């Protein structure tokens, strides 16, 4: 069984990432030579603006973002409620729309081989897919 399918371990990793890794990642995420991107979104209840580090992979018609913690994460709920977001990837900024949750099998062929291996190692079985605005 992998780390992310064990609820206690998954929740511990999620907490570590949220409180320690993500703040550090925000310093470099979205930059030209860094693998991580950012997604800017508006809180569905608060209206507050948030920026969250993610791994956004460009595809021909938009982006896909792996969902190692599943689809019930705050940033994705916010983006789905708003219908749009802004992704900063490799130093460029993109407005994205139509967030959908798709099965890994629907997008794996679009992913670079190295990314596909990493995401498979973490048992990523769904992705958020975005179209360019």
Domain ranges of the chain: 33-132
Class (C level, CATH) for 33-132: mainly beta
Residue 61 burial class via C-beta count within 10 angstroms: exposed 0-12, middle 13-18, buried 19 and up = exposed
Instruction: Tell me what the mean pLDDT of segment 97-114 comes to.
Output: 96
| Euclidean distance between the first and the last CA atom of the chain, given in angstroms as a whole number | 39
Of the candidates 133, 114, 51, the residue with the CA atom closest to the CA atom of residue 88: 51
- Tokens coding 97: 């729309």
- Tokens coding 23: 């703040």
> If you average pLDDT over each of 25-39, 90-104, 110-124, which comes out highest?
90-104
Q: What is the structure's pLDDT at 2?
A: 45
What is the DSSP secondary structure assignment for residue 110, as one 8-state letter? G
Report whether pLDDT(75) > 60: yes
- Tokens coding 14: 């999620």
């Amino acid at each position: 069984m992998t780390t992310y399918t064990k609820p206690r371990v998954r929740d511990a990793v999620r907490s570590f990432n949220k409180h320690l890794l993500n703040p550090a990642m925000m310093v470099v995420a979205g930059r030209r030579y860094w693998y991580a991107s950012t997604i800017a979104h508006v809180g569905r209840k608060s209206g507050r603006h948030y920026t969250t580090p993610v791994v956004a992979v460009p595809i021909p018609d938009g982006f896909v973002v792996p969902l190692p913690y599943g689809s019930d994460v705050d940033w994705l709920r916010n983006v789905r409620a708003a219908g749009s977001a802004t992704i900063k990837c490799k130093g460029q900024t993109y407005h994205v729309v139509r967030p959908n949750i798709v099965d890994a099998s629907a997008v794996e062929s679009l992913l670079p081989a190295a990314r596909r291996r990493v995401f498979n190692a973490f048992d990523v079985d769904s992705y958020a897919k975005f179209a360019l605005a």
